Amino acid sequence: MRSKSLILILIIALFSGCSYNSEDDLTEQVIIDNFVTYETNIKPIIDNNCIVCHNNPPVNGAPMSLTTFSNVVEAVENRNLIGRISATDGSVMPAGGPRLPQSLIDLVIQWVEEGLMEN
């Protein structure tokens, strides 16, 4: 009887220990996932959709390169990057279309709103 309750207590202690730890990990994960960063989220979008013209050096008539963090920040601040990817007329980037999926446009907008974090 005595050893049974000891085992029970041990099991309870083990389980509560485990769930506490995993809750901790989960909270940390959610916090990290909440922020959009250039390295994780934005660079892949640019690499897949823009670099074919906005390379270094730029080709196909593109006026600037978008290969680095500072290139992209500069284009957001001075070259209306958000306006150009959001455009619904012929000025949309990528040039010649198709327009990026709205989810990716929203991600870039969120990145700007959160303060243009690099990583």
Return the ∠ at Cα 85 (arms to 50 and 66), rounded to 5°: 35
**Can residue 93 be called a binding residue for ligand HEC (CB under 6 A)?**
yes
Q: Nearest to residue 98, comparing CAs of 41, 44, 49, 62?
A: 49
**Which range of residues in 16-24, 30-38, 95-103, 111-119 is near ligand HEC by CB under 6 A?**
95-103
Closest CA to 35 of 102, 105, 117: 117
Q: Which amino acid is at 110?
A: Q
Collect all residues with Cβ–Cβ distance below 8 Å to 15 and sequence separation of at least 6: none
Position 49 contacts ligand HEC (CB under 6 A): yes
Of the candidates 38, 53, 67, 111, which one interacts with ligand HEC according to CB under 6 A? 53
Answer yes or no whether residue 36 interacts with ligand HEC by CB under 6 A: no
Residue in 95, 111, 115 with CA at minimum distance from that of residue 103: 111
Nearer to ligand HEC, 26 or 52 (CB): 52
Q: Candidates 6-14, 33-41, 91-99, 110-118: pick the segment binding ligand HEC (CB under 6 A).
A: 91-99
| Footprint on this chain of ligand HEC (rule: CB under 6 A) | 49-50, 52-54, 60-63, 75, 79-81, 84-85, 91, 93-96, 100
